[in-house]
Amino acid sequence: MGLLQNDIDDLIGKVLAGEATEQEQQKVNAWREETPANQAYFNNFKIIFEKAAGSDVKVEFDTDAAWNKVKLKIEKGRVLPLKQRTEATIAWLRIAAGVAVTLGVIYFLNNPISPQQQRAIVSTDNTRQDTLPDGSTAFMNKKSELAYSYDAKAKSRKVKLKGEAYFSVKHDETKPFIIEADEVLVRDIGTEFNLKAYPEKDTIEILVTEGEVQFYTQYDSGLNLKAGDRAIYSKRNKSFYRIEKPDTNILAYKTKVFSFNNTDLKSVVELLNEVYNSKIVLANKKLFDCRLTANYKEDNAATIAEVIAETMNLTLTRKGEELILDGDGCTSSQ
């Protein structure tokens, strides 16, 4: 509609005060229907107006001076005819509506009430990707949960994580992005990273893929990590450790890309089952220590199992939901 912010604020004030003309009401309704953001803006103002009209929120300002100015303007008109008095009353109601909205905005900025400021996300038996209220994204591994909130007083975005998630943070220097995982904190410095923090595990692990983060606790400044850095925090030892040895499959739950380098078959199968919720079974212990060097990029565990069987000269049979790998074992790396 091309309405300026001040124009729409004025129109909303009139609508909320019950003093808008039919045309003005139509303009506001049309504006509300343009975008969900407009509707949310109107809803917030309505809540603000109602709270301001009926609340005992105290805001320090010079009411006497403001009233005296209005009073002087009224007195200059001496005794007003009834019609003029009605118009003056309407004008005052509009002013009152504007004051209520202004006070409401002050209250809202200090006490956010928008439901979009808080978000809880849970993944159960499947991974899940979601966008947080600030525009950042989180790709969550199975059996993970996070809670997002915005602290208006501290001007910070906070996330509490239980489980594992890959974060792509929308950087804003004026609003720090901080993740709390058990006793560890991660502060974004413009980045993308993976954080693994299951409550039952002794370690909290992080891999930075882009940008920089601070990995710390309230009592330890911890580590500053850049793209390619990986580190863990030991809850038992209360200590941070950099990990030099790369884990090529740390993001496999997200990417479905696997890279095995002389990896024992037992570990290969465990990872595939974890990522795909599959039931690949090694028929005998002779296969546990068979070594595999291979790369896979598939969306189907059965296909990968078939390739492994072909590569390692094993048999693959299906029994119900189980995929059974069997053979005589291995005498050398495959």
Q: What is the pLDDT of residues 124-150, one digit of tens each?
A: 999 999 999 999 999 999 999 999 998
pLDDT exceeding 90 applies to what percent of the chain?
51
Output the domain CATH number for residue 283.
3.55.50.30
| Domain identity same for 126 and 106 | no
| Domain identity same for 189 and 287 | no
Which bin fits 135, alpha (ψ -120 to 50), beta or left (φ > 0)?
A: left
Is 249 contained in some domain? no
| Domain identity same for 99 and 173 | no
| Domain identity same for 68 and 39 | yes
| Domain identity same for 119 and 234 | yes
Query: Domain residues for 274?
Result: 256-326
Average pLDDT over residues 150-163: 89
Q: Considering 86, 110, 134, which residue would you say is the last residue of a domain?
A: 110
Output the domain CATH number for residue 120.
2.60.120.1440
Q: Return the exposure string of 55-74: e unless at least 16 CB atoms fall within 10 Å of the residue's CB, then b.
A: eeeeeeeeeeeeeeeeeeee
Is 296 contained in some domain? yes
Average pLDDT over residues 170-198: 91
Q: What is the pLDDT of residue 18?
A: 76
Q: What is the pLDDT of residue 35?
A: 84
What does the pLDDT look like over 241-255, one tens digit per residue?
Answer: 999 887 889 999 999
* CB atoms near residue 146 (< 10 Å): 24
| Domain identity same for 45 and 149 | no
Q: Considering 76, 110, 144, which residue would you say is the last residue of a domain?
A: 110
| Domain identity same for 46 and 145 | no
CA nearest neighbour of 58 among 103, 21, 22, 102:
103
User: Between β-strands 177-181 and 156-168, what pairing exists: parallel, antiparallel or unpaired?
Assistant: parallel
Q: Which amino acid is at 104?
A: G
Q: How many domains does the chain have?
A: 3
> Is 163 in contact with 197 (CB distance < 8 Å)?
yes
Residues in the chain: 334
Q: Where are the beta strands (DSSP E) in the chain?
A: 118-123, 128-131, 137-140, 144-151, 156-168, 177-181, 184-197, 203-216, 223-226, 230-234, 239-242, 257-264, 279-282, 291-297, 315-319, 322-326
Is 170 contained in some domain? yes
> Is 8 in contact with 27 (CB distance < 8 Å)?
no
| Domain identity same for 17 and 32 | yes
Is 127 contained in some domain? yes
What does the pLDDT look like over 54-113, one tens digit per residue?
Answer: 444 333 444 445 445 544 554 555 444 444 444 544 554 455 555 544 544 444 444 444
- Tokens 């009152």 locate to 96
| Domain identity same for 205 and 175 | yes
- Tokens 């909205």 locate to 101
DSSP 56-68: -------HHHHHH
| Domain identity same for 128 and 237 | yes
Q: Which amino acid is at 75?
A: E
| Domain identity same for 190 and 148 | yes
Q: How far is the CA of 75 from the CAs of 14, 64, 81, 86, 103, in angstroms?
A: 25, 16, 13, 15, 27
| Domain identity same for 143 and 237 | yes
Q: What secondary structure letter does DSSP report for 168?
A: E
Is 183 contained in some domain? yes
Average pLDDT over residues 175-183: 93
Q: Considering 110, 139, 159, which residue would you say is the last residue of a domain?
A: 110
Q: Which amino acid is at 211?
A: G
Is 334 contained in some domain? no
Is 88 contained in some domain? yes
Average pLDDT over residues 17-40: 84
- Local confidence band at 14 (pLDDT 50, 70, 90 cut-offs): confident
Q: What is the pLDDT of residue 93?
A: 46
Rounded-to-10 torsion of CA 106, 109, 113, 118 = 180
Average pLDDT over residues 317-327: 93
Distance CA 133, CA 135 (A): 6
Is 332 contained in some domain? no
